[in-house]
Chains A and B, each alone.
Chain A
Amino acid sequence: MASYPAGLKYTKDHEWIDLSGDRGKVGITDYAQQQLGDVVYVELPEVGATLKQGQSFGTIESVKAVSELYSPVTGEVLEVNTALKDKPEVVNKDPHASWMIVVKLTNPGEAGALLDAAQYQDLVK
């Protein structure tokens, strides 16, 4: 049984966000990586891109399929984890530590509506 860190917030689309002030690191959940299977390719936005909450910020591909990545919040991309380009498989091994982008939140109030760990656990059980 996967454990979902209490410090993170989650979306129904199976992303997590690790908030710190007006910034958040974004990745996909353990449930999402299990559903995908072996991840072989992650396509991420450029630094400086602006995202709306729920908007696609990239794609993740397993051997079998392609999935969109959806931003949990509205904001600007401050950093992109370029290490995933050459080592996409870390998303399978350690999904809750494998951040993809850092977003500067335009409207930090949006985060309040995200799921907490217990709610997310409920969603995927």
Chain B
Amino acid sequence: MEQATEVPLKKTPLNARHRASGAKMVSFAGWDMPVEYAGDGGGVIQEHMAVRTRAGLFDVSHMGEIEIAGKDALAAVQRIASNDASKLQVGQAQYSGLLTPRGTFVDDLLVYRLAPSHFLLVVNAGNIPTDYVWIAEHIKPAGDAVAVDASSRYALIALQGPAACDVLQSLTAIDLPAIRYYWFAHGEVASVRATISRTGYTGEDGFEIFVPPQSADRVWQAILEAGGGAGVIPCGLGARDTLRLEASMRLYGNDIDDTTTALEADLNWIVGWKKDDFVGAPALRDQKAAGVTRKIVGFEMLDRGIARHGYEAYIGDTKAGVVTSGTQTPFLKKAIGMAYLPIEHAAAGTEFDIDIRGRRTRARVVPMPFYKRAK
């Protein structure tokens, strides 16, 4: 992302470590982040394959953490987040949306229930100030609840891949196999106070580890040492993007934003239809009753070529939609992507064209996810 003016990029607590490891750094959402690592084991493809076959370690400390606490914290979260947070037990997390009154996305997020009246919201790096202001404003009617931007209090490290559980277990007394998918536990990792969550953005089993910023480097190094024998390598944002796309996870700013509703993004499952009103609910109910006119789809390229974010989709000679994400995936070894198409052309098997730099290129709608790990 280009900066219009010279604003210094923000750095995670692991920035010096990335630079010392020879990572290629890029500006991302105002942060100086590793896009891929150097050396024989590095590069997007090898990092991607490491996560699918062994495990990879990601610095995702740029993500934001907003806490909501107070007697009416649940009511506050219920009002601003689309999913039904009353279903969360303490120690459990869920994917959710922060929606506008039109049912479109301010952001997508994970909601963690730390205590009965204490929630942690993990939000996208580029949206932290917007989200915080939005949340503080919109929880006011909920009663006694306060929002705090706690982003600077957390470093966040993700260990993802089939070897993640064994590698991390060697560094913690927490019984990791007992943590179910989308649950979390508190304890220590490498003698550092940590919250370990069985979540991720790769489509693999794995963990996201919240640690104090001053101890992030110690935990990072300990995991790489413990995982060396298992082939664990550091991974950058490049592999994070190809992994999440293979797993069909939406990326805010690409696949969802304030012009796309939760229903158009095919995320009906994060809409708490049965709970009390929340911001965006009336619009979504109307849209559900009327039926959506367009929907996000997964596609594979039939002709050679790679469709990218922003390329236009055509049905015959008519411009019909837009590609929101696309790449050549390292594991499936196919050119895939996501696009918004008119609902009558959104069924699996439908063929359409994508304008790749002036060339009409054939693509076919396929079911998502593109990749699903073996249980």
Contact = CB atoms under 8 A, between A and B. Distances in A.
Given A63-B327, A64-B238, A41 B306 contact: yes
Contacts of A54: none
Nearest to A62: B44
A41 B305 CA distance: 8
Interface in A75-117: 92
A41 B357 CA distance: 14
The interface residues of chain B, by DSSP majority, are classed as: mixed
B308 A63 contact: no
B308 A66 contact: yes
B242 interface: yes
B45 interface: yes
A61 B44 contact: no
A40 B328 contact: yes
A37 interface: yes
Contacts of A63: 44-45, 48, 238, 242, 327-328, 330
Contact of A37 (B43, B304, B305, B335): B43
Interface string B129-166: 00000000000000000000000000000000000000
B372 to A, nearest CB: 21
Contacts of B238: 37, 63-64
B35 interface: yes
A59 interface: yes
Interface in B36-66: 36, 43-45, 48
Interface string A45-88: 00000000000000101111010000000000000000000000
Nearest to A56: B357
B182 to A, nearest CB: 29
Interface residues of B, number: 19
A61 B35 contact: no
B238 to A, nearest CB: 5
A18 interface: no
Contacts of A64: 35, 44, 238, 241, 327
A32 B24 CA distance: 14
A38 B304 contact: no
A37 B36 contact: yes
Given A61-B328, A63-B327, A37 B308 contact: no
Interface in B286-315: 304-306, 308
Interface in A1-43: 37-38, 40-41, 43
Given A63-B242, A66-B306, A41 B44 contact: no
Contacts of B36: 37
Contacts of B43: 37-38, 92
A21 to B, nearest CB: 34
Most buried by B among A40, A61, A92: A40
A70 to B, nearest CB: 15
Contacts of A41: 304-306, 328, 335
Q: 5 closest Cβ contacts across the A-B interface?
A: A40-B328, A63-B44, A38-B45, A38-B43, A38-B44
Given A38-B43, A38-B330, 18 more contacts: A37-B35, A37-B44, A37-B238, A38-B45, A40-B45, A40-B328, A41-B306, A41-B328, A43-B305, A61-B306, A61-B328, A63-B44, A63-B45, A63-B48, A63-B242, A63-B327, A63-B328, A66-B308
28 contacts: A37-B24, A37-B36, A37-B44, A38-B43, A38-B44, A38-B45, A38-B330, A40-B45, A40-B328, A41-B304, A41-B305, A41-B306, A41-B328, A43-B305, A59-B357, A61-B306, A61-B328, A62-B44, A63-B44, A63-B45, A63-B48, A63-B238, A63-B242, A64-B241, A64-B327, A66-B308, A66-B357, A92-B43
